[in-house]
């Protein structure tokens, strides 16, 4: 007869190390992740942690956080870069390409479909009513993003000063890249002359035991393909830059340097390298370029596009696919009878040029993570840039509020109902911690009801 102590001991025994994961098993997981990665970067990282660290134990928590720290140093969407990194660590470069690509592609196809519905049927009363309620919610979401980032980053008066200076600079219409460059320079000088201003405690709490041994554990040696060699670095850079040059060369040859697709490729390559601090950080740059300079979309359309991006899986920066679709449709690149084809192609072009730099940075820099992690000379400029981003995001909230509350311009009438919806959304976010999807759903319902009642 089995004694109680025996069953207890068996239940308490640590689990075995997981069996090696094949490429196609990993492929199925990354495909699934592409369809369930809602909730913005924080939600997506939480999903990956729950699946990869806790449930499947493909990677230990310390290795997971170590990779995340590196991805947070890079421009671009950190959640997509983290998936790319883990896929690369497990199955070489193709594993990283598959993991990062499947993180994006479902969102691209969904956004193309939603963008088509928006531009083709957006004037219908029901659709217009839904977006009437969503626009104020997006304004509250942007303000909440500024608060969330600022609470984490603005730890002292110097960092607050950088944020305020960035807000003033963007209000004075200084180019966003210049603001990023100035903040990075301030951080570089600070790392040398005032390191205490930019230093911080550990980025994450210490890893907690209890999940059991992982396939890639704390003491698992770095696989041979992840070791740094100059030859491998050269190959990644040659292939990555070669893909960019080939794609750009094809666009120039077919459409010319001033063609819409060519200009989108150039602009969103620059935007990809400005994405420090997440998607909300680069949106002001997109507004400056895509809305005010190239006129691919309008201010209200940007708000609607951000709302669509919030409701789909994948990185929030995928809002650029919406901008591309609207711009391709508006430019009628393939003629007035092929508007959908022009919009879908533009969305694909924009997505390619936005995410290619992320793949290059992760695959090229992955092997040198240990040499760069925790180096104040690198983290201080990032901290300063992120502080500047807070001021820039506040300006973005003001930009959206101006278009939502005064839809006919600041000299026109004030839209009190939009202001009430925005105030309710802000209370739901700040006080009751609502998620994005329930918030947008509730505000869309209010906007639809109000619009239909007003038109009755």
**Residue range 302-337, pLDDT digits in tens:** 888 888 887 788 887 888 999 999 999 999 999 999
Where do runs of H (alpha helix) occur along 256-311? 260-272, 279-286, 299-311
Higher local confidence (pLDDT), 300 or 341: 341
Average pLDDT over every residue of 17-25: 91
Q: What is the pLDDT of residue 185?
A: 93
Mean pLDDT to the nearest integer, 225-234: 89
Instruction: Please say if the pLDDT value at position 46 is more than 80.
Output: no
**Per-residue pLDDT tens digits for 175-226:** 777 888 899 899 999 988 988 888 754 444 334 446 788 888 878 888 888 8
The more confident residue out of 402 and 204 is 402
For residue 176, give the nearest of 302, 287, 66 by alpha carbon: 287
Structural domain includes residue 60: no
Q: CA torsion, points 298, 302, 304, 309, in degrees to nearest 10? A: 150
pLDDT at 210: 62
Given this model, what pLDDT does residue 279 score?
67
Burial 265-278 (b: 16+ CB within 10 A, else e): bbbbbebbbbbbbb
How many domains does the chain contain in total?
A: 1
Residues of the chain with pLDDT > 90: what percent? 42
In a domain, 31, yes or no: no
Nearest 10 degrees: Cα torsion 253, 339, 357, 87:
-130
Q: In the predicted model, what is the mean pLDDT of residues 350-373?
A: 85
Does residue 363 form part of some domain? yes
Q: What is the mean pLDDT of the chain?
A: 85
- 92 within some domain: no
Mean pLDDT for 330-353 is 95
Indicate the length of the chain as a whole number: 456
pLDDT-wise least confident of 146-160, 190-204, 287-301, 386-400: 190-204
Compute the average pLDDT of residues 260-289: 84
% the chain with pLDDT above 70: 90
Query: Does residue 150 fall inside a structural domain?
Result: yes
φ, ψ dihedrals at 12, nearest 5°: -85, -10
Q: Which pLDDT score is estimated for 205?
A: 38
Asked if 303 and 404 count as a contact pair (C-beta separation under 8 A), the reply is yes
Give which of 74, 315, 70 is closest to 203, Cα–Cα. Answer: 70
Assigned domain for 294 exists: yes
- What b-and-e string marks burial along 281-317, b requiring 16 or more CB atoms within 10 Å of the CB? bbbbbbbbbbbeebebbeeebbbbbbbbbbbbbbbbb
* Structural domain harbouring 261: 107-200+226-455
- Mean pLDDT along residues 406-435: 92
Distance CA 137, CA 417 (A): 12
Tell me what the mean pLDDT of segment 76-86 comes to: 90
Distance CA 35, CA 194 (A): 45
Confidence check: pLDDT of 454 > 70: yes
Sorting pLDDT into bands at 50, 70 and 90, what band is 355? very high
The reported pLDDT for the residue numbered 162 is 95
Q: Which helix (H) or strand (E) segment is 92 a member of? A: helix 78-121
Q: Is the pLDDT of residue 1 over 50?
A: no
Asked, for residue 329, whether it belongs to a domain, the answer is yes
Query: What is the structure's pLDDT at 3?
Result: 46
Task: With respect to residue 311, please indicate whether it lies within any of the assigned structural domains.
Answer: yes
Q: Which residue has the tokens 């591309």?
A: 324
Q: What is the mean pLDDT of residues 88-101?
A: 95
- Dihedral angle sign, alpha carbons of residues 365, 368, 373, 376: negative
What is the reported pLDDT for 155?
Answer: 87
Shortest CA distance to 300 belongs to which of 282, 285, 322, 317?
A: 322
């Amino acid at each position: 007869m089995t004694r109680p102590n025996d069953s207890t001991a068996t239940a308490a025994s640590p689990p075995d190390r997981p069996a090696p994961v094949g490429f196609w098993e990993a492929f199925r997981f990354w495909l699934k992740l592409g369809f369930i990665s809602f909730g913005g970067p924080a939600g997506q990282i939480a999903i990956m942690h729950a699946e990869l660290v806790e449930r499947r134990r493909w990677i230990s928590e310390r290795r997971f956080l170590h990779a995340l720290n590196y991805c947070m140093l890079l421009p671009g969407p950190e959640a997509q870069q983290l998936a790319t990194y883990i896929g690369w660590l497990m199955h070489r470069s193709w594993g990283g390409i598959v993991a990062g690509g499947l993180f994006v592609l479902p969102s691209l196809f969904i956004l193309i479909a939603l963008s088509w519905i928006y531009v083709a049927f957006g004037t219908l009363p029901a659709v217009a009513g839904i977006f009437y309620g969503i626009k104020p919610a997006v304004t509250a979401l942007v303000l909440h993003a500024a608060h969330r980032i600022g609470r984490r980053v603005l730890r002292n008066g110097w960092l607050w000063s950088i944020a305020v200076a960035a807000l003033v600079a963007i209000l004075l219409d200084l180019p966003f890249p210049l603001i990023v460059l100035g903040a990075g320079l301030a951080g570089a000088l600070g790392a040398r002359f005032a390191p205490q201003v930019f230093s911080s405690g550990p980025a994450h709490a210490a890893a907690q035991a209890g999940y059991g041994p992982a396939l890639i554990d704390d003491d698992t040696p770095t696989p041979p393909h992840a070791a740094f060699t100059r030859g491998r670095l050269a190959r990644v850079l040659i292939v990555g830059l070669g893909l960019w040059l080939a794609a750009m060369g094809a666009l120039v040859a077919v459409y010319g340097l001033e063609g819409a697709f060519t200009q989108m490729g150039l602009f969103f390559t620059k935007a990809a390298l400005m994405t420090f601090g997440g998607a909300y950080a680069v949106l002001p740059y997109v507004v400056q370029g895509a809305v005010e300079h190239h006129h691919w979309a309008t201010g209200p359309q940007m708000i609607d596009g951000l709302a669509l991006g919030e409701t789909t899986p994948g990185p929030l920066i995928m809002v650029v696919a919406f901008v591309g679709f609207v711009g391709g449709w508006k430019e009628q690149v393939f003629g007035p009878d092929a508007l959908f084809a022009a919009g879908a192609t533009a969305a694909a072009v924009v997505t390619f040029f936005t995410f290619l730099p992320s793949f290059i940075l992760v695959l090229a820099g992955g092997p040198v993570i240990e040499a760069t992690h925790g180096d104040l000379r690198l983290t201080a400029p990032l901290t300063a840039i992120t502080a500047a981003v807070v001021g820039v995001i506040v300006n973005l909230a003001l930009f959206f509020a101006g278009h939502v509350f005064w839809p006919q311009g600041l000299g026109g009438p004030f839209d009190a109902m939009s202001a009430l919806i925005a105030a309710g959304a802000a209370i739901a976010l700040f006080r009751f911690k609502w998620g994005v999807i329930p918030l947008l759903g509730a505000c869309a319902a209010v906007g639809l009801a109000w619009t239909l009642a007003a038109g009755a």
